[in-house]
Amino acid sequence: MTNIVKKISCNSICDSNLFLRKLWSELEEGNGWNLLVYGKNQKIFLGSSNYGMVSFDYEKRGCINNIYFDNVAKKDVDFVKRAIDNAKNIDDYCVYYIKIELPFFVCDIYDDKTYTIIYNENKKSYIYSKIKAYSMKDLNFLLSNKLSALRALFSIYVNKAFPLNRFNVFVSKVEERKRLDDSQSFMSQNDYYIIPREGLIFADLIISKESYSREVRMLINSIHQYYFAISQEEMNKENIVDRLSCINVANSIMVSALEPLASLEKCSTTVCENSNQKNFSVVKKMKQLLSRYLDEGVVWYFMKNYYEERSKFFHEGKRQSEEYYIGICWPQIDETDGRNIFVPRLSIDYNLLNFVNFVIQQRVYDIILDNIM
Vertex 227 angle, CA 185 and 162, to 5°: 60
**Environment class of residue 310 by beta-carbon count within 10 Å: exposed (0-12), middle (13-18) or buried (19+)?**
buried
pLDDT score of 329: 55
Element (H, E) at 255: helix 247-256
Mean pLDDT, the chain, whole residue set? 79
pLDDT at 179: 42
Distance CA 288, CA 327 (A): 41
Least confident of 146-155, 220-229, 329-338: 329-338
Q: Structure pTM? A: 0.78
- For 270-325, what is each residue's pLDDT tens digit? 666 666 665 558 888 999 999 999 999 999 989 988 888 888 777 766 666 554 44
Give the per-residue pLDDT at 372. 60
Identify which of 149, 210, 146 has the alpha carbon closest to the alpha carbon of residue 18.
Answer: 210
Q: In terms of C-beta density within 10 A (0-12 exposed, 13-18 middle, 19 or more buried), how is residue 204 classed?
A: buried
Positive or negative, the CA dihedral 236, 241, 245, 251 is positive
